[in-house]
Structure formats: C-alpha cells, structure tokens
Structure 1
Amino acid sequence: MNLRSTFAATTAATAMLAGAAFAGEHGGTMRIGITQNNVGVDSYQTTYEQAFIAAAEENENVETVVLDAGGDVARQIAQMEDLIQQDVDAIIIWPTNGEAVIPAVRKAAQADIPVIVTNSNIAEQGFDFVASFSGPDNITQGARSAEIMCDKFKEEGIEGEARVVQISGQPGYTTAIERAKGFEDRLPEVCPDVTLVETQPGDWNREKSQQVMEAFLVKYDDIDGVYAGDDNMGVGALNAAKAAGRDGIIFVGATNFAVGYEAMAAGDYWGSIYQSPVDDAEAALQTAIDILNGEEVPFLNYFDTPKITQDNMDEFSKPVF
C-alpha cells in the first residue's frame, strides 16, 4: 500500500467515526463552513460560490458559513480558526496554498471537525488531517491537455519539430502544480520530439497571461503551441498573439471557460478540458453531507473532466462562467 492509499484508509476511517458521532448526537441541522480561495479572481470561482449557496439552500438540513480568503493565506488560516471556534460540524476548504494551510487543517482535525478539501488539494503531508478531497484530477487534466496538443501537432505534421510554451497558474497552488506536472510528464510520452521551451506563471489572470505571452513572442520567433493552466489565461495568451499578428499557434487550456468556448467556436483556440464549477461545488457540499451522515466516502473523490476540442465541442454546453 502506497502513502496515498494508507492516508486514504486512515482518513476514511476517521471520517466514518466523525459521521457516526454526528448522526448519533445531532439528528438536526448540519452547520458546514467553507473558506474559499479567491471568489473575485475569475468567473469559475464566482460561479462555484453561487452554486454552493444554491445547493445548500435547497437542503433544509444544512446551514452554511460561507467565507472567502481573497487569495490571502493568512486570512484563510484566520477563517479556519474562526470556523473551529464556531464549532461547525464540517469545514470545506479551497486552499490558497497547499502547504501553508496544513497547520490550520490539522487544528480542525484535532478538534474532531472533518475537513473536506475542494477543487485543489493540499500537499500530501497534510492528507492524514483530511476526511476527503472533492474535485477534479488535475494531473489527469494536464495529461489530457498534452494529448490534445500532440494529436493536433500530428494532424499538422509538425510533431517532430514543434515548440511549446506553458503559462501556469498561481505558484505554490496545488492545481497549478498538478496541471503543469500532468502536461510536462505526458507530453514527452506522446510527442517525444516536441520541445517545451519555457514556463511562466500567469496567476490565473488574463491580463497577466497576456503580458507573459507578449514576452514569449518577443523572446521566441518560433512558437507552435501554448498550454495554459486554464482558459482564462489561454485567451489572454491568444489576445497577445493576435495583437502581434502571430498566426498558426495552437492554443490548448484546461477548465473550459466561456471565453475559451467562444474562441474555439471562432476557430482561434483549439482545445481544453471541460470542468463545471456547479458540479465542483455540489460535489464538495455532498461530500461533507455524506461524511456527516456516516457514509463511506473515497479519499480522492474525483468528478470526470473530459477533453473538448473544436471537433467535439457541439457535444458540450457553453460554460456559464
């Protein structure tokens, strides 16, 4: 049994005990607190919060305390401590930083409050303080993005010489790390002659990513592909390429935003990974409820995120975020 499996078994048992205790002692309303990463930073997180609140309001047995860290690690740690002081029944955390929040998560676990990590996992050394992770498999997303890009290079006959730049998410943020790792590990497996020439962070921000791409375009005369950790950053890069008159670059992202979907429909943006913030929010809330009801929940509770390209985008609804 590997480290992750061992933690999974331990935390599943802990979650079952916590749930059994809740079911035995309460029988009434579940108070679930959530501290989010940064609601205002992009439309995915805004839509997630709206969906989370709507799902909670539909369940008469649930009360929520909804907090937003605004991207500030210190504020999120303070929010965790506040939720512990309020003695909520469960805490959902969307980490601002996968390592920095571990002491606060540990404190909640020591207070016998089950912690559910949502969307972006904490670092592995914190797994034994977590009841479950609910969200996408970000390493698989990165790998699928590499496959999308490689397939397009092969279709165009440039898989033996193509050069790629990467715009990653916020440094230190688990989703950014995992999506980059998935892409970087998978690309040489499927397209061994493609060169990843440089990676720079775009911080999940479209304007920042446009500036990063502008610098890439000045630095490199030959760029065949751009991989961005989400479509918001990918469209920022696309805007830079358009402004510079650089045609023929293949753009691939992850988390298909409405702007990415529209750029795909216009033929400017090739592909992405389809991920719903509504599914994400509802899955996190349901995971917390299941744990409090004493049900067995997987430690890594993933929902599927399929590939979307110009070729199959008609099979998917336009994202609402």
Structure 2
Amino acid sequence: MNFPTKSALVCTTAMLGSAAAAETMTIGITQNNVGVDSYQTTYEQAFIAAAEANPDVEVVVLDAGGDVARQIAHMEDLIQRQVDAIIIWPTNGEAVIPAVRKAYKADIPVIVTNSNIAEQGFDFVASFSGPDNITQGARAAEIMCDRFNDLGIEDEARVIEITGQPGYTTAIERSEGFQDRLPEVCPNVDLVESQPGDWNREKSQQVMEAFLVKYDDIDGVYAGDDNMGVGALNAARAADRADGITFVGATNFSVGYEAMARGDYWGSIYQSPVDDAEAALRTAIDVLSGKDVPFLNYFDTPKITQDNMDAFEKPVF
C-alpha cells in the first residue's frame, strides 16, 4: 500500500464499528481517554456516527484510558488485525512513536487526530487532522491582552496559567503558543507561574486554590481548556476573588459558554469535537482512496468572547 510518508492517524477509544460490505475499508482508532471530559466523549460518539453513516467503512474503536502502555498494545493489536488504516489520538506524543513506526513498516497508514505526535515521528504518519494548538494558545493570549487593554491594566497585570496533561502535545503546544504570544502583544504583563491541571476540573480547582493562597494579586487566568478554566473560576468564586480576574480558556466547553453568558468567564477558543471526529475519519478515508492529503490538516478554531458569543452555537459537550 502506497501512502504519503508525512501523515498521521489518530486513534480513539470505543466499543466497536459498523458492519461492512465485502469491500470495505477497516479503520482502527485508539483514543486518548474518552471518560476524562465531555469533549472526548462527544468526539467518540460523532466518530462512530460518521462511520455508521458510511457503508464503505468498518471501524474498530478503542480507548486507551490515558494509559500509554494500553495505547501501544492497541496499536500492536490493530497491526495484527491488518486494518487498512489507524487513527491515533496520542496519550503521549513521544512514547507512541515506536508503535506508529511499526504500523508504518507494516504498510498501514496512520492518521494522528486532535493532538500531534512529536516531530521525530512525522515521517511515519500520513496526516495530522485536528486543531492548530499553537495558534489556539496565541489567540488566547490575544484575547487576554485585549481585555487588559480595555481595563487599562496592560502595564501591571499578573497572570497564572493552568496547563493540560504533562507530556501531552496539545498541552505543550497551547502553552507554548500562549507564552510566546503574550509578551509580543502585552510585553509588560507578568506570567507569574504555570502548573498542570491534567484536563481535570477538580484538579484545576485545587491548583487554583493554591495559587490564591500564594498570590494576593492575580489579574488573569489562562487555562488549556474550559473544563480546567471553570475549575479555576469555581475556586476563585469560593474564595470571593473572582471579580477582577479575567478567565480565558480554549476548546469552548458548554460550561465555559454558560460561564461566559453569566459574565463570569471572559473568552475562549471555539472548537467542535464533532468537526474534529468527522475530519479524522474523512482524512483516513481520503488517504486510503489515494487522494492528496496535506500533512497538517487543520480546521479553524476562532476566538470567542462575551462580546461575540451570540454568533456561536452553545457547545454540546
């Protein structure tokens, strides 16, 4: 099987695929951690629905549960099954590279979804399908800076950051985009400290509680997704310190959208898990059909704030 050397397939976790006709494409997907948040749960549902709607596709849907070793075992199982293509949502962008290389050597194209693998593995994937996470982080910094300018505190504001799971490419890239862009647009803003929230609302609330004890003056909080951002907001509200703090996240969850509508949460980056899932499946099908697929197959993720949120539908996740 011939396919472009620079493409990646993301694997997601799930139960099983749709029935197939005689000449169907069998696509396996190993997901990161379906139960950890509503984005991943919605992604899985949308992926299965899209596969079931296509009579030419049969899918094997697996969930690594956040466990790198389990995901590597998934990859080896899918290679043994001789599936036509593999989609992987990496639990760790570096640790999965040997397994991705095994699929490449077995002539099975791999599509990476949502969160890319580390650059040293790019030669073993057909395409990456998902958001541009560095751009998301940069846009979040711009939202934060614009708000500080409106408030007149752009020369004195202090910001803390809550990142996603350590070692996870999306977490690394969103943080990198934010940290690189913030000093460009607001050079006098002080990014005081960054700590991981592991994509978990309760963990992020605890991280924020510690920040509130440690720092008397916090003007802004950037969280790698809205689930963590709302956890930070909950901690600030419990401490009666939410007023005066600008909360900005990414991957606009319904809880973030609702907090924005209440006026508690300022902005985020709009990203659809349905678009994400459908794009991954479509990319895998296009690769198998011999179509010319870009290596970095991004979909757009625009800024959303209290000022323009009426132009966006409330997220379903």
Shorter-normalised TM range = over 0.9
Matches within 5 A, 1:134-213: 134-213=129-208
Encode CA deviations 1:5-35: one digit per residue, 9 max, x unaligned: xxx97426x99xxxxxxxxxx9920000000
Matches within 5 A, 1:118-133: 118-133=113-128
Which amino acid in 1 is paired with 2:201? R
Encode CA deviations 1:85-135: one digit per residue, 9 max, x unaligned: 000000000000000000000000000000000000000000000000000
Which amino acid in 2 is paired with 1:249? I
Query: What is the distance in 1 between the residues matched to 2:212 and 2:6?
Result: 47
Which amino acid in 1 is paired with 2:302? P
Q: 1:60 to 1:68 in 2, by over 3 A?
A: same
The SS at the match of 1:31 is strand
Identity of aligned pairs, percent? Answer: 85
Q: CA RMSD in A?
A: 1.5
**What runs of 5+ residues in structure 2 fail to find an aligned partner?**
10-20
2:25 is the counterpart of 1:30: yes
The SS at the match of 2:159 is strand
Return the structure number with greater helix share: 1
Match of 2:58 among 44, 63, 68: 63
Query: What is the distance in 2 between the residues matched to 1:33 and 1:312?
Result: 39
2:298 is the counterpart of 1:302: yes
Which amino acid in 2 is paired with 1:300? L
Matches within 5 A, 1:259-274: 259-274=255-270
Corresponding residue number in structure 2 for 1:5: none
Shift of 1:262: 0.1
Matches within 5 A, 1:4-19: 10-11=5-6
The SS at the match of 1:11 is coil
Encode CA deviations 1:209-267: one digit per residue, 9 max, x unaligned: 00000000000000000000000000000000000000210000000000000000000
* Aligned residues between the structures: 303
Normalised TM-score (structure 1): 0.93
The SS at the match of 1:34 is strand
Q: Is contact 2:5–2:124 with CA below 8 Å preserved after alignment?
A: no
Query: What is the distance in 2 between the residues matched to 1:158 and 1:308?
Result: 21
Query: What is the distance in 2 between the residues matched to 1:236 and 1:126?
Result: 34
Query: What is the distance in 1 between the residues matched to 2:222 and 2:165?
Result: 15
Corresponding residue number in structure 1 for 2:252: 256
Q: 1:267 to 1:205 in 2, by over 3 A?
A: same
Which amino acid in 2 is paired with 1:65? V
Shift of 1:79: 0.3
Which contiguous aligned blocks of 4+ residues in structure 1 show a shift greater than 6 angstroms? none
**What runs of 5+ residues in structure 1 fail to find an aligned partner?**
1-7, 16-25
Match of 2:45 among 37, 44, 50: 50
2:106 is the counterpart of 1:111: yes
